[in-house]
Amino acid sequence: MANFKFVVSDPATRKSHQIEVDQGRAIGLVGKKIGDDFNGDLIGLTGYTLQVTGGTDKDGFPMHPQIHGQGKKRVLLAGAPGFHPLKKGMRKRKTVRGDTISAEITQVNVKVLKKGSVSLDEVAPTKSKAKIEEKKIEEKKEEKIEAKVEKKVEEKKIEEKKAEAPESGSGGGESKKE
């Protein structure tokens, strides 16, 4: 079963936090619509009251508040969400997801209506901190890979020297006989 990624925005601090929750644990959210309120206990935020503001599905299509239901539809859009016109009056047909959370949704955007006893900073890192941590993990992985490559290169050099040593020794012995 996949995970829901919740982007929890706090209007008071103007920070967003990312929380990943198993779909089995947050199954109570399936059927909620954009604008609906729910208890934060479903995603591990005790005492919080949250409101659904949007989301995206597994293919990256955004949820649109004017499209009812759970399915995808191609609609003519003149503005956000789902389309940001470059010129005034510009419209474009785009595929968007309905306003209801389903099992196809992977990211759910919510905002805090009522705070709980524990701050969001303690429960979940901000998105920027999470990105920094991800970069550090990637850098460590790259360093490990580079170390492995350097080790293999050194091993090859040692093998080449060993292979050259007997050849030069036998060749030197023949020249002495002559």
Residues 61-70 have pLDDT tens digits of 888 888 888 8
Q: Which stretch of 2-11, 96-105, 111-120, 125-134 has the lowest confidence by average pLDDT?
A: 125-134
Between the CA of residue 4 and those of 17, 50, 58, 170, 171, what are the distances in Å?
A: 14, 15, 10, 68, 69
Write down the pLDDT at residue 126: 61
Query: What is the token pair recorded at 171?
Result: 């060749």
Global pTM?
Answer: 0.62
Write down the pLDDT at residue 36: 87
Residues 7-57 have pLDDT tens digits of 888 888 887 888 888 777 777 788 888 888 888 888 878 888 888 888 888
Of residues 68 and 167, more confidence is placed in 68
Q: Which stretch of 28-42, 122-136, 160-174 has the lowest confidence by average pLDDT?
A: 160-174
